[in-house]
Amino acid sequence: MKSDFTTNFYLYFLSRIKGLSHANVWKFLNGEKSPKIETLIEQSQQDKNFIQELHQEFSQLTENYLTILDDDYPKNLKATYDPPLFLFYRGNKKLLKEKNLLTIVGSRTTTDYHISSAQKIIAQLTGTPLIIVSGLARGMDSVAHQAALENKLPTIAVLGSGLDEVVLYPQSNRALAQQIIKQNGLLLSEYSALTPPAIHQFPKRNRILAGLAQATIVISGALKSGTLITAQVAIDQGREVLALPGNINYNLNQGPNHLIKNGAGVLLGAEDILEIYQVNKKDARQEIIIKNKTHAKIYTLLQTEPMSLVKLSQKLELPLEKLNPIVSTLEIQGLLKFNRFNQLETK
């Protein structure tokens, strides 16, 4: 079913009534009677100034949107307690009908461990039908979207602002947002195009992140953080949650470790994700066999932890002038790469 203009305006009217949550509207639309809700609606209908203001606002909505009554509205999200009545979008809305959406969340502050872990896991998903969902924030969200793009996986960014480039938040990710659309991805928000970012909108955005996907994976986050809010929403909605374990001495590992302690799945690699989605990766990476002993030793060391050329040189007791051409060879073979901290790591 495709909702018509009159129905859409009525939904917009309901969404703008103060004191009426989307959850209560959805219950009302599904036939649940409530004298309080009916009184609020009746009072608002009698306010001519309010109705006139809404007509003007609604007529100025120029961006594409879905309503909760449309067939294209994502089923996973509709099944949640508090689904948004409107979803404004830019890009490939067909992604919302796919069943293999995977939400990835983490902290805005990042470490090499969390970045490299997320990048490796997403790279291992190459060739699968999974679609990466995240929030376009600085830090881990950006890492997830960028890794998805680099590995030819579709990605959906859920924003806590409108989608117009003037208000898109954060502004530092405008180029990333453009690239997502260019590579057939999707930008999504429950806020109309020119809605500026506001603090209270981001916790609300988290319910969409958790609600879209069958599973949410948590890469990093403190005990009290938006990341943990998203994970808890996913748990409350009966969705799968996987968390990346980490060193107990670091604040950004406390959130994932806490989730694991309380029953979340342990995220050790892409196979843990594929098991949930019951996806068999056709092009699973074959076991890497390196015949040259020095090459094999370098690869093994870097599988343990990333390190600088100087540190690697010291570990191997091999001069830099001899190490450099070996590293170049392994880079060309696609076995090693330099990360953003100029440290070597395995691909």
Across 46-50, 68-72, 211-215, 290-294, the highest mean pLDDT is recorded for: 211-215
**Does residue 273 sit in the same domain as residue 307?**
no
Distance between the two ends of the chain, CA-based, in angstroms? Answer: 46
What pLDDT does residue 341 have?
Answer: 80
Mark residue 281 as left, alpha or beta (left: phi above 0; alpha: psi -120 to 50; beta: remaining). beta
What pLDDT does residue 110 have?
Answer: 92
Domain stop point among 41, 60, 79: 60
**Does residue 124 sit in the same domain as residue 33?**
no
**Does residue 111 sit in the same domain as residue 206?**
yes
- Domain membership of residue 86 (yes or no) is no
CB atoms inside a 10 Å sphere around CB 312 = 20
Q: What is the largest CA-CA distance in the chain?
A: 82
Concatenating the DSSP letter of every residue in 118-174 gives: HHHHHHTTTTS--EEEE---TTHHHHHHHHHHHTT--EEEE-SS-SSTTT-SSGGGH
What residue numbers bound the domain in which 143 lies?
93-277
Return the H-helix or E-strand segment holding 229: helix 226-236
Partners of 241 in the beta sheet?
216
- Residue type present at position 32: E
**Does residue 123 sit in the same domain as residue 231?**
yes
**Does residue 231 sit in the same domain as residue 261?**
yes
**Does residue 49 sit in the same domain as residue 98?**
no
**Does residue 253 sit in the same domain as residue 129?**
yes
Domain stop point among 277, 307, 326: 277
Return the H-helix or E-strand segment holding 304: helix 293-304
Mark residue 139 as left, alpha or beta (left: phi above 0; alpha: psi -120 to 50; beta: remaining). left
pLDDT in tens, 187-198: 999 999 999 999
pLDDT in tens, 114-164: 999 999 999 999 989 999 999 999 999 999 999 999 999 999 999 999 999
- Domain membership of residue 191 (yes or no) is yes
What pLDDT does residue 29 have?
Answer: 87
Q: How many domains does the chain fold into? A: 3
Report, as an integer, the average pLDDT of 171-182.
Answer: 97
**Does residue 124 sit in the same domain as residue 250?**
yes
pLDDT in tens, 218-268: 999 999 898 999 999 999 999 999 999 999 999 999 999 999 999 999 999
- Residue type present at position 197: P
pLDDT in tens, 19-39: 888 888 888 888 888 888 899
- Domain membership of residue 161 (yes or no) is yes
Question: Please, what is the average pLDDT of the chain?
Answer: 91
**Does residue 112 sit in the same domain as residue 258?**
yes
**Does residue 271 sit in the same domain as residue 319?**
no
- Domain membership of residue 336 (yes or no) is yes
**Does residue 218 sit in the same domain as residue 154?**
yes
Percent of residues, the chain, with pLDDT higher than 70: 97
CB atoms inside a 10 Å sphere around CB 252 = 23
207-211, 223-227, 260-264, 340-344: least confidently modelled range = 340-344
Report, as an integer, the average pLDDT of 29-55.
Answer: 90
194: domain CATH number is 3.40.50.450
- Domain membership of residue 66 (yes or no) is no
Closest CA to 346 of 307, 310, 292: 307
Partners of 242 in the beta sheet?
217, 265
- Domain membership of residue 74 (yes or no) is no
pLDDT in tens, 138-147: 999 999 999 9
Domain stop point among 277, 306, 330: 277
- Residue type present at position 102: L
- Domain membership of residue 37 (yes or no) is yes
C-alpha distances (whole Å) from 48 to each of 35, 172, 241, 246 are 22, 41, 47, 57
**Does residue 214 sit in the same domain as residue 336?**
no
- Domain membership of residue 185 (yes or no) is yes
